[in-house]
Structure 1
Amino acid sequence: MAVGLGLVFALAACGSGTETAPAASGSPAASSSAAGPWTFTDDRGKKIERPERPARVVAQVGAAAALWDFGVRPVAVFGPHRLKDGTRDPQVGNVDITKVESIGNVWDEFNVEKYISLQPDLLVSGMYTGDTLWYVPEKSTSTIEQVAPTLGVRLVGKSLPEIIGKYGEVAAALGADLNAPEVTAAKARFDAAAKALVTPETKNLKILIMSGGPEMMWVVNPDDHADVRYFKELGLDVVVPDKVDEAGFWETLSWENADTYEADVILVDARTQSMRVDEMMKKPTFAKLPAVKAGQVYAWHAEERYSYQGYADVLEKLLADLVKAKKL
């Protein structure tokens, strides 16, 4: 699948394994006192300098949701946060969308004029491909970067705990307290859920993780998705595709080849841009798969927010689904 709009349709979050605690405020990467100069070095190696700690932060919804759970309150968001019926998109996490401005809700929608009017101090976004900021339109990048510094968090090639830790580091630099009870409690939940996920029974299940579209389906390449890579490193038996697309992240298959990989369980991309399972069931080759016939198809929460709260929920829900499944 091509990078760009294709990634929007089928891209997800990524992962590996070693626990990395969030760096404290005042680490070599950041200086975060409320008064005086503020600096932070992001995952592009870019040193960001401000006369004082940024107070007016605009963030892509994934970054906004992660920062929110660590205690940072952005003034505006962009990327999927409101569904067609006006309710919250799951990707926005715990962000109160009634209290933040919206400067864009879909791919390639970024209201530059509104962004300028908000007088932002900093823009924060994740990065899936190179140094490209997720959901920041390439055509507007130069203008956006003239308004305020941008901060990028790399979402591939790192472990899931490491990415969560990086967002914690950003939050701490922006004044959040990483020792707040809700943060430490969430980390304890995350650690417990990770430890509980793999049992002799769940370890014995072959798991296919995928996204779907009208003409094609995409099989996750674990190396390029921090969460799936983490599931695998914890000990789950996740399908690794044989022919990963040139852009990475997936193997693209026609629906006629839906049976390329055997699986006891199928996890399907639950984002709004992916085909729903009831629509996939209209594809005969999908409907006849053993896991589908056995009712062992569950949600994969791609692009979950990179916070301990977000992934504690994911890991607990995944375990609850897997314990219902059986080896086929």
Structure 2
Amino acid sequence: MSGTEGWGFTDDRGAELGAARVPLRVAAYVRAGAALLDLGVTPVAVYGSGHDGEELDPAKAGGLRAVGVPYLGPGRALGAEALSELRPDVIVDVTYDGKSPYALDEAVAERLGIPLVALSVSGELTLPAILDRFAALAASLTAAPGRSASGAESAVGPVPAAPASESVPAPDLAAAEALLRSVAAGGGVAVLALSGAGTEQVHLARPQAWPELAHLAGLGVRLLDPGPGPGANWLTGDWAGVAELRPDLVLFDEREHATPPYALPSGVRLAPWNPETPPSPAAYARFFRDLAEALAA
């Protein structure tokens, strides 16, 4: 599709979006923006979620800081004026329920007449399906004549191309998966994924509710299930419950709003986990390699 033929994309809410030309200026939720950057589309700016503060969370930034993409703060605090000043052609968010964008009030985009793409990152999809959807969107956004992997201009001037190390082709993801599968087969290490919520509380991840954790299980990683109880994605309990599950390795939520591991049994190894890893082959290749190293330690 050329930039003169227009642009169309159906998002994961079933919304059919279109424009007279391929969008050049993309504003995005930080997770989506970091993924698009890996896939060759540099956003003009990114915004955070309700968990985020006024500064970009390093755990969620991906390569955005390295190329100077501006961060606007939490999306729910953004008004029409702030977005209007950016002059975006399209906004890209994620959705967990298949109905609403996660981090931005859709009414703001509607008032400005800006198409808003929401791609699902929920446990109803496999990780490969999520990666395919982001790749399809990126391909549609790089169809404009003359547009290169360096993307468009930002609101504050040209944004340089992503460093070469940030652009990892899909075959490298396959190699990282093969490495992780090989390491996981040799150890039988029990792995527990969690997010700290203070000194008295911790959220324990249900592996099958998280596309990347379910994918790890498919690669042979032995992930511990916290057991029955309320909560679709997490079982909330105390730190003593972590010890009862007897993990060998804890994947801890490294985002800034999460509490670092507070009280763990002696000898338990730690490895960081970002529950909002950018949905790109590059980001997951890095995560899988790092986890393979942690399992082998």
Alignment pair present for 1:39 and 2:8: yes
Q: In the alignment, does 2:160 pair up with 1:191?
A: no
Specify which of 106, 116, 124 is matched with residue 150 of structure 1.
116
Conserved? CA contact 2:254–2:273, under 8 Å: yes
Contact 1:208 1:263 in 2 (8 A): yes
Contact 1:77 1:103 in 2 (8 A): yes
Contact between 1:88 and 1:97, CA under 8 Å: does it hold in 2?
no
In the alignment, which of 275, 300, 316 is matched to residue 289 of structure 2?
Answer: 316
- Once the two structures are superposed, residues 146-170 of structure 1 have per-residue CA deviations (whole angstroms, 9 ceiling, x without a partner) of 3201101100111112211111100
SS of alignment partner, residue 169 of structure 2: helix
Q: What residue is the counterpart of 1:207 in the other structure?
A: 191
**Number of residue pairs matched?**
273
Measure, in 2, the Cα distance between the counterparts of 1:196 and 1:115. 43
Contact 1:58 1:123 in 2 (8 A): yes
Match of 1:240 in 2: 225
Is 2:80–2:109's contact at 8 Å kept on the other side of the alignment? yes
**Aligned pairs for 1:1-328 within 5 A:** 32-79=1-48, 89-96=58-65, 99-104=68-73, 106=74, 108-137=76-105, 141-147=106-112, 148-156=114-122, 157-175=124-142, 185-198=168-181, 199=183, 202-214=186-198, 215-246=200-231, 248-277=232-261, 280=262, 286-287=263-264, 289=265, 293-324=266-297
Question: Identity of paired residues, percent?
Answer: 25
TM-score normalised by length of structure 1 = 0.76
Q: CA contact under 8 A between 1:76 and 1:103: conserved in structure 2?
A: yes
Structure 1 distance, partners of 2:242, 2:166, is 41
Q: Is the 8 A contact 2:48 2:56 kept in 1?
A: no
Distance in 1 between the 2:101 and 2:66 partners?
Answer: 22
Separation of aligned partners in 1, 2:209 and 2:39: 25
* 1:225 Cα deviation after fit: 1.2
| 1:304 counterpart letter in structure 2 | T
Task: Please tell me whether the aligned partners of residues 183 and 308 of structure 1 are also in contact (alpha carbons under 8 angstroms).
Answer: no
User: Matched residues in 2 for 1:146 and 1:112: separation?
Assistant: 7
Contact 1:41 1:47 in 2 (8 A): yes
**CA contact under 8 A between 1:70 and 1:183: conserved in structure 2?**
no
Residue 143 of structure 1, CA deviation: 2.7
**2:167–2:282 CA contact under 8 A, matched in 1:** no
Partner SS for 1:297: strand
Secondary structure, counterpart of 2:87 in structure 1 = coil
| CA distance 1:107–1:124, change in 2 (3 Å) | closer
Q: Distance in 2 between matches of 1:66 and 1:132?
A: 20
Mapped to 1, the partners of 2:109 and 2:168 lie a distance apart of 37
Cα deviation digits, residues 68-92 of structure 1 (max 9, x gap): 0111011111017xx9896762312
Partner of 1:103, secondary structure, is strand
> Per-residue deviation at 1:256?
4.1
Relative contact order, CA 8 A, sep 6+: which one is greater?
1
Q: Distance in 2 between matches of 1:195 and 1:224?
A: 23
TM-score, normalisation: structure 2: 0.83
Separation (CA, whole Å) in 1 of partners of 2:223 and 2:99: 28
Task: Indicate if the aligned counterparts of 1:48 and 1:151 stay in contact, CA closer than 8 A.
Answer: yes
CA–CA distance in structure 1, aligned partners of residues 292 and 171 of structure 2: 17
Which letter maps to 1:118? L
User: Partner letter of residue 222 of structure 2?
Assistant: D
Task: Tell me if the contact between 1:202 and 1:236 (Cα under 8 Å) persists in the aligned partners.
Answer: no
Measured after TM superposition, the shift of residue 100 of structure 1 is 3.0
RMSD of the TM alignment (CA)?
A: 2.6
Structure 1 stretches of 4+ moved >6 Å: 83-88, 181-184
